[in-house]
Amino acid sequence: MGKVLIAPSILSADFSKIGEEVENISKEGADVIHLDVMDGVFVKNITFGPKFVKDVRNKSDKIFDAHLMIVEPWKYIEKFAEAGADYITVHYEACRDKLKETLRAIKDLGVKCGAVINPDTDPEKVYDIIPECDMFLLMSVFPGFGGQKFIESVLPKVEKVADFVVKSGKETLVEIDGGITLENVRRVKDAGANVIVAGNTVFKETDRAAVIEKLRNY
């Protein structure tokens, strides 16, 4: 198996000291900082926008992965690119027939692009766009909140997508997000995921370096 990237989701961090949290988690072994952007419309929660991303950008030299859970994401991709996102991922459920052009628009900004599907979306619906993606994200919870339970039925979909990527001959990363724990991380890696998002599992611990190491090695 190739390299696996660990992507702590700062949704589970303490926002009252977010600069410190991002700085520390970067030193504690994170490869990627996963940034959950929510608008209160696409999902029933509100987090932060481009200014927040720009401000925390100064605290870390890790890969910044902006997961946009917002409607009409194409309206904001330029702002997130300017803010310093390295990857911008947009939901199929938010873009529908505009997905391909939104991915292209992200690439045209010089940023790596990703598509995301919810747990109840069949990946076959988006096979045609997977080769366009630098990263493909499968949600293993319904988006909106950290700390939810992993949905097991997503595992065979991860396998399908990972196989598709191998057959396509591309190097599209396969990311999994939601409910990842030390108990299930082995299975998601075996299924073919190579970017592992973890919110609560990392931030609830005091020894975060140890848990990141375990997520990497389990």
Residues that bind ligand DX5 (CB under 6 A): 9, 11-12, 34, 36, 67, 141, 143-148, 177-180, 197-201
Instruction: Give the per-residue contact string, 126-155, with Zn ion (x = CB under 5 A; - = no).
Output: ------------------------------
φ, ψ for residue 102, nearest 5 deg: -70, -40
The number of residues that bind Zn ion (CB under 5 A) is 3
Nearer to ligand DX5, 146 or 192 (CB): 146
Helix (H, G, I), strand (E, B) or coil at 61: coil
Q: Which does 148 bind (CB under 5 to 8 A by kind): Zn ion, ligand DX5, none?
A: ligand DX5
φ, ψ for residue 179, nearest 5 deg: 70, 20
- Interface residues for Zn ion in 46-105 (CB under 5 A)? 67
Q: What is the dihedral of CA 144, 172, 30, 44, to 10 degrees?
A: -10
177 is a catalytic site residue: yes
Q: Can residue 177 be called a binding residue for Zn ion (CB under 5 A)?
A: yes
14 is a catalytic site residue: no
CA 52 to mean position of chain CA atoms: 17
Identify the active-site residue in 31, 39, 134, 177.
Answer: 177
Termini Cα distance of the chain: 13
Q: How far is the CB of 130 from ligand DX5 (least distance, A)?
A: 20
For tokens 């499968």, the residue is: 138
Q: What residues form DSSP beta bridges with 110?
A: none
User: Catalytic amino acids?
Assistant: 36, 177
